[in-house]
């Protein structure tokens, strides 16, 4: 069964299963040594730069699948190759069980090229199945006037990043949106600002194998999702990363639910990696399929089983931050987070109502999953989107809480470019409302990205210092004490609010070391302590 996570409806289709789905894993890549010696031949310079910045090595998985191997498999009786993966060194094929099993004997230049074969129908495998999964749509000083989006933006504190003196709105960051098609994005007024800035870098329809991602294919889900990150209507609607650059990839066939969609998702993730993408947003999930023989069980949502889950974990290893909707199965029989959101390397986003309370449809975590799921939550009930008619409307689903937060994370990473994907994820978790008491409903809770930014900047500055310094109490009420290192007679103290405005400018020494903070409003501030040879920035909280 496929779930289009609008929570408004679900689709069930019955097909005729004349052919089987299988993943054929290949034995090697004959030209891998040559390719790895000249990585610019297989990756863009942006991809290489991103990997270098985050200490991610170019490895065997970056080398494309050997085309002679693919040709040899395509030439076999009754076999159709529908997808390929360089990360897995595998192809996804359709054919009868007999014809697929016969691929084990395929040779190129006298050498066997097939390592293993995994059928999507695990009962056809001679050994334990290598996982299949099910995907669902998860839909159940810039001066912005946020209009309808005000609540969903301010709930996670991304407005403070937008309005920061450095204008963290996604500039310079690249996002891949993997979804079900993006009808009318090329003409809608809601994306005019994005198009004027050349913010759409390209796209590809992996289902129909063409570049027309704007064609209507029976569903407008991708357009809605994109609007929550990149949409803009003056004084009415502001996406959470309006100035990022986007690639649009269609991997979801809304009419059917088959294991092929997992493979297409992995293909898109590989393409994203090759293009140097920083963040993937995916509002898709997989648990059960139209053909029940291919379906997963809840126990298999263990972060390691589904093909798409394993692919998502590789994307994480490659330095990409993958944000995925948790699913809309919370009030149904399935209930728990599906693939690829079950992956430890995926930042899984649940949904809350506008008032911050749990949305009953949002999929829950379970003890079967290796890490806390969901990770965090954002507004997913009555989320505002721009529809294909350029109208602002509301929809329900983790399909929308995911891009709302993904855009915010893009802005946070823009502000903290030296952080790794794992470090950004952890900063967001630590900023969330119930970080010390997570549960299976809200995960770590609702994040505050202004807190995450303050903590990230604090760590960046403080870790560069080899000195002793004490600030207390923190949180502070009326008086902050600053004890400075003994080698300094006096230091300069400047305190800034989260918008970058200086609110206190003073000096302290060993005798006069107290600062009056009673004049400050409640919230998060940055305190910058400077002297010759000393520069430290720390976060303080005013209660």
Question: Does the structure show a pLDDT above 90 at 534?
Answer: no
The reported pLDDT for the residue numbered 10 is: 38
Using CA atoms, how far apart are residues 188 and 168, in angstroms rounded to an integer? Answer: 25
In a domain, residue 514? The reply is yes
Question: Does the structure show a pLDDT above 70 at 60?
Answer: yes
With H, G, I as helix, E, B as strand and everything else as coil, classify residue 524: strand
The reported pLDDT for the residue numbered 460 is: 59
Residue 358: DSSP 8-state: B
One-letter-per-residue 3-state SS of 74-92:
HCCCCCEEEEEECCCCEEE
Using CA atoms, how far apart are residues 325 and 333, in angstroms rounded to an integer? Answer: 18
> Residue 280's beta-bridge partner residues?
176, 322
Contact (Cβ atoms closer than 8 angstroms) between residue 290 and residue 283: no
Question: Does the structure show a pLDDT above 80 at 9?
Answer: no
Q: Considering its fold, how many domains does the chain have in total?
A: 1
Task: Give me the DSSP letters along 455-494.
Answer: HHHHHHHHTT--S--EEESSSBSSEEEEEPPTT-SEEEEE
Count of CB atoms within 10 A of residue 203's CB? 23
Residue tagged 């897995």 (tokens): 88
Question: Does the structure show a pLDDT above 60 at 12?
Answer: no
In a domain, residue 495? The reply is yes
Give the CATH number for residue 477: 2.60.40.3080
Residue tagged 């008032």 (tokens): 355
Contact (Cβ atoms closer than 8 angstroms) between residue 237 and residue 145: no
One-letter-per-residue 3-state SS of 383-446:
EEEECCCCCEEEECCHHHHHHHHHHHHHHHHHHCCCCCHHHHHHHHHHCCCCCCCCECCCECCC
Contact (Cβ atoms closer than 8 angstroms) between residue 402 and residue 281: yes
pLDDT digit string, tens, across residues 128-173: 433 333 345 554 445 789 999 999 999 999 999 998 878 899 999 9
The reported pLDDT for the residue numbered 142 is: 58
Binned at pLDDT 50, 70 and 90, residue 473 comes out as confident
Using CA atoms, how far apart are residues 364 and 74, in angstroms rounded to an integer? Answer: 42
User: What residues are annotated to the active site?
Assistant: 179, 221, 399
Binned at pLDDT 50, 70 and 90, residue 470 comes out as confident
Question: Does the structure show a pLDDT above 60 at 461?
Answer: no
Provide the pairing of β-strand 3-4 with 135-137.
parallel
pLDDT over 70, % of the chain:
91
Which residue range(s) make up the domain with 512?
Answer: 464-542
Question: Does the structure show a pLDDT above 60 at 8?
Answer: no
For residue 210, report the phi and psi dihedrals to the nearest 5 degrees. -150, 175
Structure tokens at 96: 């009868």
In a domain, residue 249? The reply is no
The reported pLDDT for the residue numbered 11 is: 37
Using CA atoms, how far apart are residues 257 and 398, in angstroms rounded to an integer? Answer: 19
> Higher confidence at residue 143 or residue 307?
307
In a domain, residue 197? The reply is no
Of 518, 477, 178, 130, nearest to 322 by C-alpha is 178
Contact (Cβ atoms closer than 8 angstroms) between residue 430 and residue 446: no
Structure tokens at 314: 């590789």
The reported pLDDT for the residue numbered 531 is: 84
Lowest-pLDDT range of 90-99, 320-329, 349-358, 491-500: 491-500
> In b/e form, how buried is each residue of 108-136, taking b as 16+ CB within 10 angstroms?
beeeebbeebbbbbbebeeeebbbbbbbb
Residues 100-106, mean pLDDT to the nearest whole number: 94
What average pLDDT is seen over the chain? 90
SS3 percent helix, strand, coil of the chain, rounded to 5, is 25, 25, 45
Structure tokens at 276: 């140097």
In a domain, residue 84? The reply is no
Binned at pLDDT 50, 70 and 90, residue 522 comes out as confident
> In b/e form, how buried is each residue of 504-530, taking b as 16+ CB within 10 angstroms?
beeebeeeeeebebeebeeebbbbbbe
The CA R_g of the chain, rounded to the nearest whole Å, is: 25
Using CA atoms, how far apart are residues 243 and 171, in angstroms rounded to an integer? Answer: 5
Binned at pLDDT 50, 70 and 90, residue 15 comes out as very low
Torsion, Cα 323 346 170 216, to 10 degrees, reads -30
Contact (Cβ atoms closer than 8 angstroms) between residue 457 and residue 526: yes
In a domain, residue 520? The reply is yes
Residues 256-285, mean pLDDT to the nearest whole number: 97
pLDDT digit string, tens, across residues 312-367: 999 999 999 999 999 999 999 999 999 999 999 999 999 999 999 999 999 999 99
For residue 407, report the phi and psi dihedrals to the nearest 5 degrees. -60, -40
The reported pLDDT for the residue numbered 510 is: 86
In a domain, residue 536? The reply is yes
Using CA atoms, how far apart are residues 351 and 442, in angstroms rounded to an integer? Answer: 8
Using CA atoms, how far apart are residues 270 and 276, in angstroms rounded to an integer? Answer: 10
> Residue 530's beta-bridge partner residues?
492, 535
pLDDT digit string, tens, across residues 197-235: 999 999 999 999 999 999 998 899 999 999 999 999 999
The reported pLDDT for the residue numbered 358 is: 98
- HSE of 18, CA atoms in CB hemisphere, 13 A: 3
In a domain, residue 123? The reply is no
Structure tokens at 134: 């099910």
pLDDT digit string, tens, across residues 427-436: 999 999 999 8
pLDDT over 90, % of the chain:
76
Residues 435-450, mean pLDDT to the nearest whole number: 95
The reported pLDDT for the residue numbered 468 is: 66
């Amino acid at each position: 069964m496929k779930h289009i996570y609008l929570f408004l409806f679900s689709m069930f289709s019955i097909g005729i299963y004349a052919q089987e789905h299988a993943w054929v894993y290949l034995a090697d890549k004959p030209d891998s040594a040559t390719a790895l010696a000249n990585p610019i031949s297989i990756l863009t310079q942006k991809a290489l730069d991103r990997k270098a910045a985050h200490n991610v090595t170019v490895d065997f998985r970056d080398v494309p699948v050997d085309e002679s191997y693919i040709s040899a498999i395509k030439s076999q009786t009754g076999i159709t190759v529908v997808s390929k993966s360089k990360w897995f060194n595998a192809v996804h094929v359709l054919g009868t069980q007999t014809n697929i099993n016969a691929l084990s004997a395929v040779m190129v230049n006298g050498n066997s090229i097939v390592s293993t074969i995994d059928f999507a129908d695990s009962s056809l495998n001679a050994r334990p199945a290598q996982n299949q999964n099910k995907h669902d749509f998860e839909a159940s000083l810039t001066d912005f006037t946020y209009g309808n989006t005000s609540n969903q933006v301010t709930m996670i504190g991304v407005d403070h990043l937008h309005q920061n003196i450095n204008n963290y709105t996604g500039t310079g960051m690249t996002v891949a949106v993997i979804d079900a098609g993006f009808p009318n994005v090329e003409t809608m007024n809601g994306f005019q600002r994005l198009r004027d800035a050349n913010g759409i870098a390209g796209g590809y329809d992996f289902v129909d194998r063409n570049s027309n991602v704007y064609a209507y294919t029976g569903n407008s889900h991708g357009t809605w999702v994109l609007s929550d990150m990149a949409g803009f209507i003056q004084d009415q609607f502001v996406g959470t990363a309006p100035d990022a650059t986007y690639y649009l990839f269609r991997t979801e066939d809304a009419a059917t639910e088959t294991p092929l969609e997992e493979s297409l998702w992995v293909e898109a993730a590989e393409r994203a990696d090759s293009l140097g993408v920083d963040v993937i947003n995916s509002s898709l999930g997989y648990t059960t399929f139209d053909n029940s023989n291919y379906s997963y069980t809840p126990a298999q949502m263990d972060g390691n089983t589904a093909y798409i889950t394993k692919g998502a974990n590789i994307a994480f290893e490659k330095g990409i931050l993958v944000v995925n909707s948790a699913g809309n199965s919370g009030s149904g029989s399935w209930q728990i987070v599906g693939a690829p959101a079950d992956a430890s390397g995926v930042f899984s986003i649940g949904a809350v109502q506008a008032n911050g309370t749990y949305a009953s449809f949002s999929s829950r975590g379970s003890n079967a999953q290796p890490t806390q799921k969901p990770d965090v939550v954002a507004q997913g009930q009555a989320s505002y989107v721009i529809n294909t008619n350029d109208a602002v409307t509301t929809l329900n689903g983790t399909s929308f809480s995911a891009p709302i937060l993904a855009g915010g994370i893009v802005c946070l990473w823009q502000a903290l470019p030296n952080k790794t994907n794992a470090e950004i994820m952890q900063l967001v978790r630590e900023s969330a409302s119930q970080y010390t008491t997570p549960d299976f409903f809200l995960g770590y809770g609702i994040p505050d990205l202004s807190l995450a930014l303050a903590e990230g900047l604090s760590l960046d500055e403080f870790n560069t210092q080899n000195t002793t310094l004490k600030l207390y109490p923190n949180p502070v009420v009326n008086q902050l004490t600053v004890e400075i290192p003994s080698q300094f007679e006096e230091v300069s103290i400047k305190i800034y609010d989260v918008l970058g405005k200086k609110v206190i400018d003073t000096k302290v020494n060993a005798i006069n070391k107290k600062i009056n903070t009673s004049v400050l409003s409640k919230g998060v501030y940055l305190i910058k302590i400077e002297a010759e040879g000393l520069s430290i920035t720390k976060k303080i909280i005013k209660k």
